[in-house]
């Protein structure tokens, strides 16, 4: 089997538009296949950024040490790596500078160093990310990935974190985890979203090791460093939005980098053997009945190059047959509902925190109705910890008077995860 992933693009849409219609929606599925363990290891850099601020004292720092050791043990031979201790400042735990190359000796040395980690000081994400960026910049072309663990809220001055994140975009990707319930979801999501990573809560410190194991397992399966979705549209047409809709919702619209007069790239990060789906919405100039046009060419390209790895076509055909134009793609409908669910939860929880009970009830009720229509029991179970449901189908709910921090954070974070269309993988 090939050492590098092979990409396939498929497009799901209803190409037929009614008279005067200009909007084209499609779900573009990108699938990479191949052996999970390349015969020739791809150059890779792993950065483990561990919160060692004062709030980590006790079982949190003990569990962080154990989880970091688990992550180190999973590094395959030849992978470059470094461990960073993050508090008010950032320092390298292993190696002393730069990155080490994983082998039995360096892994053992790193685990020994990690066992000495202790908690103290404040929290300044900007210093942690800056040190990670400085290491990552020494290894252009490699798959550069970071795992950031925190348990607290950022103490940077206004605008400092945002500026630091901007400097890290395109240098490395970053999965973020929050242990306990004292951290700020919006703060950590800001890092993960900008750096093409994931965010999740690990409420109980003893579960950190299993979570780190899963993240490293995924990271070690990546084999293509930088992949982008390039969208070409004809003159007069324009991309309205691009959203990743599976495995979770992430709006990519603002990440567009113009790469030509008629096309732009949306960074997708590193890839292993996996599948992701994107909702692409294009506005086209209306045409006469019977006319057909290519509304968009969706290409998977290697980042910073013109090498096309796979492509799919989004079409537009105008018809006066209402039966044809009225149909909605099953996938487009499904993921439109999933995106609306994520928005409803996010805005509902924000209104609840602001004391706006009317808006919170309305938005969380809408989330219940959408989850019910989708038959998503997992989402309904999370919502039931925040609202009492009187009528699930209509979204008639009452806010619970007492909600645990864990339940609210879990609902907020996991609202963006989506299920695939029924009957598909």
| pLDDT tens figures, 115-139 | 999 999 999 999 999 999 999 999 9
Do 302 and 348 have their domain in common? Answer: no
Alpha-carbon span 99 to 139, nearest angstrom: 9
What are 10's two structure tokens? 């498929």
Q: What is the CATH number of the domain that holds 378?
A: 1.20.120.1690
User: Cα angle vertex 412, ends 339, 423, to 5°?
Assistant: 45
Of 31-35, 108-112, 237-241, the least confident? 31-35
Do 115 and 23 have their domain in common? Answer: no
Measuring CA to CA, which residue among 70, 96, 67 is closest to residue 84? 96
| pLDDT tens for each residue of 407-416 | 999 999 999 9
Do 215 and 187 have their domain in common? Answer: yes
- In the chain, the number of structural domains is 3
Do 87 and 192 have their domain in common? Answer: yes
pTM (two decimals): 0.91
Q: Which residues contact 399 (CB under 8 A, 6 or more apart)?
A: 352, 357, 360, 361, 364, 386, 387, 388
Q: What is the CATH number of the domain that holds 101?
A: 3.40.50.410
From 297, 320, 343, give the residue that closes a domain: 320
DSSP for 234-252, written as a single string: -TT-EEEEEEEEESB-EE-
Of 105-114, 174-183, 266-275, 301-310, the least confident? 301-310
Q: Is 326 contained in some domain? A: no
Do 275 and 286 have their domain in common? Answer: yes
Are the CB atoms for 302 and 226 separated by under 8 Å?
yes
Do 84 and 217 have their domain in common? Answer: yes
Whole-number CA gyration radius for the chain: 23
Alpha carbon 201 to its chain's center: 14
Name 316's bridge partners: 293
- Beta-strand ranges (E) seen in 135-247 are 143-150, 173-179, 199-202, 224-232, 238-246
- Kindly state the percentage of the chain with pLDDT values over 70: 96
Q: Is 396 a residue whose pLDDT tops 80?
A: yes
What does the pLDDT read at residue 2? 44
What does the pLDDT read at residue 36? 43
Q: How confident is the model at residue 337 (pLDDT cuts 50, 70, 90)?
A: very high
- The boundaries of the domain holding residue 213 are 44-223
What are 271's two structure tokens? 């890839």
What does the pLDDT read at residue 171? 97
pLDDT, mean over the chain: 94
Do 260 and 111 have their domain in common? Answer: no
Do 153 and 54 have their domain in common? Answer: yes
Q: Is 76 contained in some domain? A: yes
Q: How confident is the model at residue 37 (pLDDT cuts 50, 70, 90)?
A: very low
Do 100 and 174 have their domain in common? Answer: yes
Alpha-carbon span 376 to 73, nearest angstrom: 36
Q: What is the CATH number of the domain that holds 263?
A: 2.60.40.3670
Do 274 and 163 have their domain in common? Answer: no
| pLDDT tens for each residue of 339-394 | 999 999 999 999 999 999 999 999 999 999 999 998 899 999 999 999 999 999 99
Q: Is 66 contained in some domain? A: yes
Q: Is 421 contained in some domain? A: no
What does the pLDDT read at residue 379? 95
What does the pLDDT read at residue 306? 83
Q: Is 1 contained in some domain? A: no
Q: Is 3 a residue whose pLDDT tops 90?
A: no
Alpha-carbon span 139 to 135, nearest angstrom: 8
Q: Is 217 contained in some domain? A: yes
**For range 248-260, the mean pLDDT:** 96
Q: How confident is the model at residue 255 (pLDDT cuts 50, 70, 90)?
A: very high
**For range 231-254, the mean pLDDT:** 97
Do 121 and 210 have their domain in common? Answer: yes
User: Cα angle vertex 282, ends 186, 319, to 5°?
Assistant: 140
Are the CB atoms for 119 and 56 separated by under 8 Å?
yes
Alpha-carbon span 25 to 76, nearest angstrom: 42
Helices (H), 13-138: 59-74, 104-114, 125-136
**CA torsion, points 177, 246, 362, 327, in degrees to nearest 10?**
180
Q: How confident is the model at residue 425 (pLDDT cuts 50, 70, 90)?
A: very low
């Amino acid at each position: 089997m090939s050492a590098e992933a092979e990409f396939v693009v498929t497009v799901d849409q209803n190409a037929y538009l009614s008279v005067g219609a200009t909007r084209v929606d499609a779900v573009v599925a990108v699938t990479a296949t191949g052996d999970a363990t390349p015969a020739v290891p791809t150059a890779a850099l792993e950065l483990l950024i561990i919160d060692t601020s004062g709030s980590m004292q006790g079982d949190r720092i003990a569990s962080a040490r154990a989880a970091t050791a688990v992550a180190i043990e999973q590094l395959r031979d030849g992978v470059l790596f470094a461990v960073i201790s993050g508090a008010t400042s950032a320092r390298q735990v292993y190696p002393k500078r730069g990155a080490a190359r994983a082998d039995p000796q360096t892994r053992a040395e790193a685990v020994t160093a990690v066992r000495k980690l202790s908690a103290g000081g404040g929290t300044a994400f900007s210093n942690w990310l800056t040190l990670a960026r400085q290491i990552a910049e020494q290894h252009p072309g490699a798959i550069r990935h970071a795992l950031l663990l925190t348990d607290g809220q950022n103490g940077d001055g206004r605008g400092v974190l945002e500026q630091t994140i901007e400097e890290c975009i395109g240098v490395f990707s970053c999965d973020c985890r929050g242990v306990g319930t004292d951290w700020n979801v919006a703060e950590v999501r800001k890092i993960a979203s900008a750096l093409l990573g994931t965010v999740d809560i690990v409420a109980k410190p003893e579960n950190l090791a299993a979570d780190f194991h899963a993240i490293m397992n995924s990271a070690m399966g990546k084999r293509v460093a930088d992949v982008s979705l390039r969208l070409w549209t004809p003159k007069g047409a324009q991309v309205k939005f691009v959203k990743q809709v599976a495995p979770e919702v992430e709006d990519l619209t603002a990440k567009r980098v113009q790469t030509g007069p008629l096309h732009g790239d949306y960074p997708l990060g590193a890839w292993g053997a996996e599948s992701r789906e994107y909702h692409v919405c294009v506005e086209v100039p209306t045409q006469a009945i019977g006319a057909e046009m290519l509304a968009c060419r969706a290409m998977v390209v290697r980042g910073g190059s013109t090498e096309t790895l796979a492509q799919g076509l989004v079409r537009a055909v105008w018809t006066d047959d209402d039966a044809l134009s009225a149909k909605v793609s099953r996938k487009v409908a499904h993921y439109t509902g999933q995106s609306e669910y994520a928005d409803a939860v996010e805005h509902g929880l924000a209104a609840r925190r602001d004391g706006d009970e009317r808006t919170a009830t309305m938005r969380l009720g809408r989330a219940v109705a959408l989850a019910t229509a989708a038959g998503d029991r997992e989402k309904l179970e999370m919502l039931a910890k925040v609202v009492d449901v009187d009528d699930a189908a209509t979204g008639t709910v009452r806010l619970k008077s007492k909600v645990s921090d864990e339940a609210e954070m879990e609902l907020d974070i996991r609202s963006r995860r989506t299920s695939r269309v029924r009957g598909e993988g």
